[in-house]
């Protein structure tokens, strides 16, 4: 959790420092999910497993063939070459397949983790910017090239059309919109959000609506409370008759 913006956003390392991908302010290294390191161990492990799998496959089959030819020359017309070379070949093939398939799974899981961290960073950035993000914003926040940032946002808009949209500004700049994070417009009568008229239900009599804007808002609240107290006093007085 970022102490500055309060978002559960990944961090990106820039040299020896780390910054929040949502607000761009400095954070402690390893104090959050490192976006630039997400999925990297799995991807590296998958590559190593793939290379080792090919080494085992080629080396094991070559060794089986070598032993088969050598034993065939020493013991011609016998089953000795097959008895020795076939187990070596099958063992090498089985081990290589496990390494190759396991390596592919590791790379896929690493790529998924990396994409998940980037998506989380983009959504956090959008939430901090009021639901509108440009490719340049994403490039600066995620510390990636501009073309890669634009490709990420485009892919996100294609895969999640209900959550991410694409618009073009008056200046011709492509804007990626996140409707779930866009700020709501001002309330009725142009009043700022949070200062719209408050409905005050009295005990008796017609409903009243407090003033909605300007410096009269507090005075309207006082008058509404006074009217409500007067209605309650009138109601208690009628009950005592």
Once rounded to an integer, what is the mean pLDDT over residues 221-240?
A: 64
* pLDDT band for position 191 (cuts 50, 70, 90): very low
Rounded to whole angstroms, the Cα distance separating 49 from 206 reads: 77
- Quote the tokens at residue 36: 């630039």
Of the candidates 106, 98, 105, 157, the one whose C-alpha atom is nearest the C-alpha of residue 132 is 157
pTM for this entry: 0.59
- For the chain, list the strands marked E by DSSP: 11-14, 17-20, 26-27, 132-133, 165-168, 174-177, 199-200, 208-209
pLDDT in tens, 29-49: 777 777 777 778 888 999 999
Rounded to whole angstroms, the Cα distance separating 58 from 65 reads: 11
Q: 40-179 — its CATH code?
A: 1.10.10.10
**Model pLDDT, residue 99:** 93
**Which residue reads 């990420």 in tokens?**
152
DSSP state of 123: H
Maximum C-alpha span of the chain: 126
28 or 188, greater pLDDT: 28
Rounded to whole angstroms, the Cα distance separating 113 from 135 reads: 21
pLDDT in tens, 24-33: 778 887 777 7
pLDDT in tens, 99-155: 999 999 999 898 888 888 888 888 888 888 888 888 898 888 888 889 988 998 998
- What is the CB neighbour count within 10 angstroms for residue 73? 9
* pLDDT band for position 233 (cuts 50, 70, 90): low
Q: What is the CA radius of gyration of the chain?
A: 34
The residue ranges of every structural domain in the chain are: 40-179, 196-240
Handedness of CA 207, 213, 215, 218 (dihedral sign): positive
Alpha helices in 144-215 (DSSP H): 146-159
pLDDT for 213 beyond 60: no
pLDDT in tens, 75-102: 888 888 888 889 999 999 999 999 999 9
pLDDT for 181 beyond 90: no
**Model pLDDT, residue 29:** 76
- Quote the tokens at residue 82: 């097959």
Rounded to whole angstroms, the Cα distance separating 89 from 78 reads: 19
Please list, in sequence order, all residues whose beta carbon lies within 8 angstroms of the beta carbon of residue 228, skipping any fewer than 6 positions away.
Answer: 200, 202, 203
Burial of 206 (0-12, 13-18, 19+ CB in 10 A): exposed
């Amino acid at each position: 959790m970022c102490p500055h913006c309060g978002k559960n956003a990944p961090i990106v390392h820039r040299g020896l420092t780390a910054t929040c991908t949502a607000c761009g302010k400095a954070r402690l290294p390893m104090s959050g999910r490192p976006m630039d390191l997400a999925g990297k161990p799995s991807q590296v492990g998958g590559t190593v497993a793939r290379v080792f799998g090919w080494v085992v496959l080629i080396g094991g089959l070559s060794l089986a063939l070598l032993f088969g030819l050598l034993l065939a020359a020493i013991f011609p017309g016998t089953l000795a070459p097959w008895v020795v070379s076939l187990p070596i070949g099958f063992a090498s093939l089985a081990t290589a397949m496990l390494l190759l398939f396991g390596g592919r799974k590791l790379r896929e899981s690493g790529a998924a983790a990396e994409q998940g961290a980037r998506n989380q960073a983009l959504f956090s950035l959008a939430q901090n910017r009021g639901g509108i993000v440009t490719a340049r914003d994403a490039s600066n926040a995620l510390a990636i090239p501009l073309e890669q940032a634009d490709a990420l946002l485009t892919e996100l808009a294609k895969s999640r059309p209900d959550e991410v949209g694409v618009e073009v500004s008056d200046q011709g700049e492509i804007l990626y919109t996140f409707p779930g994070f866009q700020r709501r417009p001002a309330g009725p009568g142009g009043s700022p959000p949070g200062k719209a008229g408050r409905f005050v239900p009295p005990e008796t009599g017609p409903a009243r609506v407090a003033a909605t804007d300007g410096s009269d808002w507090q005075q309207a609240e006082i008058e509404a409370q006074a009217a409500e107290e007067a209605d309650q006093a009138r109601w208690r007085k009628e009950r005592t008759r």
